[in-house]
Every structure is written in C-alpha cells, then in structure tokens.
Amino acid sequence: MISARSLFQEIVDNDNSYRLFCSIAASGEAQGGWENGRIAALLPASLRDLAPKVTRHGADEDKHGRIFQALMRRRGLTPTDVPEETDYTMLLERRGIGLAHDKLRRDEPLTELDVITYLAHSRVTEQRAAEQMAMLKKHFGDHPEVGKAVRMIANDEDNHLAYCHEELLGLARAGHGRTIQRILRECAHAEIAVYRDVSLAVMDHMGRILRWPKAKSAVLAAGIRAMYGYERLIGWRRMVTLRMPERRNALGGPATSAPEFV
C-alpha cells in the first residue's frame, strides 16, 4: 500500500530525488523571501505598522531556503534546476494570483488593496504549507536527518498562517470584509488547480528518477486528481474561512535563527 510516509521515505532515501525535492522547496522559499522583503519596503503609509511582521515573514522564508540548501550540502549534493512545471509560485503568479513580480520590482508604494491581495494570497498558500508540514512532522518529525528541519519549518508555517488570519480579520473589521472574501475565493480556486498540476509534475519527475512502475504512477496520479475533485467541490472552503488564531501576534518578534543549518 502506498502511504505518504512510504512515499516520502523513498524520496529521502535516493540522492537524486532528495536533491530535486530540496531544490524545489529551496527555490520556492527563496522566492517567498524576496516577495515579502519587497512588500515590506513598499507598504503604503496607512499600513506601515505591518512592516516588521512582513519583514519577519520574509526572513523566515529565506531561512527555510537556507535550511533546504544545508540539507543538500550535508549529503554532498548541489541544487538542481527546478523544472518550470513544478514552480508553484511562478504558476500562481501566471494565473494572476498574489502580487505580480513586475509590480514588486518597481519602487512605487503599494495600495491597501495590494496589501489585502498579498495577505489573502498568503492565507491560502500558508494553509497549504502548514498542512504539508504538519503531515511531514507527523511522519518525519523524529527522522535523524530531516526531523529537526521539519519541526522548525512546521512551527514557522503555523505562525505565518496565524498572522494571516489575524491581520485579515483586522482589515475586515475596518470595512474590507467583502473584498477579502472575494479575493480569498479567487485565490483558493486557483491554488487548488495549481497545486494539482504541480503535484502531478513532481510525481512524474520522481517516478522517472525512482523508476516507479506505471501502475504505481497511475495510482498516485489518480489520488492527486481525486484530491483536487474533493477540494474543488468543498475542500476549498477551509482556505477562505477566517478565525482568530490561538497564536496572537505570531510574527511580532524577531525571526528565529537556525545556525545549525547555515
């Protein structure tokens, strides 16, 4: 029987699949770090109080990228090129989700709508990240090679998700509720489609590296498509609800360091 645990163990045990996994993860985290850094620099005057939290968000993402790079170095591996079809962040941007990189490269202040778009996009994508890391923490939190990294990143992702909930609720109270809900729905529906496509692409690459039989690849692809069907029908709703998190002011302090991964 194919399980998440056995699948990830197979990926971790093979240098080539592990290298691809870490390279994809490191690239995505680095992009997130850059985006948050630019957003922090371009916040409008009315929302400048968010700058320390957005900066911390970006610092966490940069740290995660360094962690995945360090995991590769420990095996004597170097990063590999990330296949375009597995680039989750880029594919979301192509669908018009989040803030375009062209906008972030300009030295023009963002609008309040831009910040709402950023937070709504982050709320959806951080939901996915928190769920994935919770799964990895459950199965690999005690793994001698990746366990510490998994636990650290999982805690950060929970903080990021809590931060998005809290800030969006504050903006909703300020009168932006309908706009927030509209953008959340748009982001959620786009994200579940991109996540399906990226998952299929990643599994295709892993299957070729690990020489999976066609039957195994077909079962995995069917499972991914079935999950998409569920998310398209009802699962997307978990990505658009807002509730006050137990972790308040989750990004209110300085970013935690990870010297052991530098």
Question: What pLDDT is attached to residue 260?
Answer: 62
Condensed to tens digits (0 to 9), the pLDDT of residues 88-118 reads 999 999 998 999 999 999 999 999 999 999 9
Quick one: angle between helices 147-171 and 112-140, nearest 10?
A: 150
Domain span at residue 104 reads: 4-261
Contacts of 102 (CB under 8 A, 6+ apart): none
Per-residue pLDDT, 66: 96
Flag whether pLDDT at 13 surpasses 70.
yes
- CB environment 109-139: b (16+ within 10 A), e (fewer): ebeeebbbbbbbbbbbbbbbbbebbeebbeb
pLDDT in tens, 197-220: 999 999 999 999 999 999 999 999
SS3 state at 48:
helix
Could you tell me if 8 and 145 are in contact, meaning their C-beta atoms sit under 8 angstroms apart? Answer: no
pLDDT score, position 259: 66
> For residues 43 and 49, what is the distance between their CA atoms, to the nearest angstrom?
9
- Give the DSSP letter string of 86-144: G-HHHHHHHTT-S--HHHHHS--PPPHHHHHHHHHHHHHHHHHHHHHHHHHHHHHTT-T
CATH number at residue 107: 1.20.1260.10
Mean per-residue pLDDT for 147-170? 97
Instruction: Compute the half-sphere exposure of residue 172: CA atoms within 13 Å on the CB side of its CA.
Output: 20
How many separate domains does the chain show?
Answer: 1
Instruction: Identify the pLDDT of residue 4.
Output: 84
The answer on pLDDT for 254 being more than 90 is: no
Q: What pLDDT is recorded for position 26?
A: 96
Instruction: Name every residue whose Cβ is closer than 8 Å to that of residue 99 and which is 6 or more positions away in sequence.
Output: 35, 39, 110, 114, 117, 118, 121
Structure tokens, 198: 């990226």
Confidence at residue 118, expressed as pLDDT on a 0 to 100 scale: 97
> What is the model's pLDDT at position 257?
73
Residue 182 makes CB contacts below 8 A (sequence gap 6+) with: none
CA distance 210 to 213: 9
Given a cut of 90, whether residue 55 has pLDDT beyond it is: yes
Question: For residue 58, what pLDDT is reported?
Answer: 97
Contact call for residues 11 and 18 (beta carbons, < 8 A): yes
H/E segment holding residue 200: helix 177-210
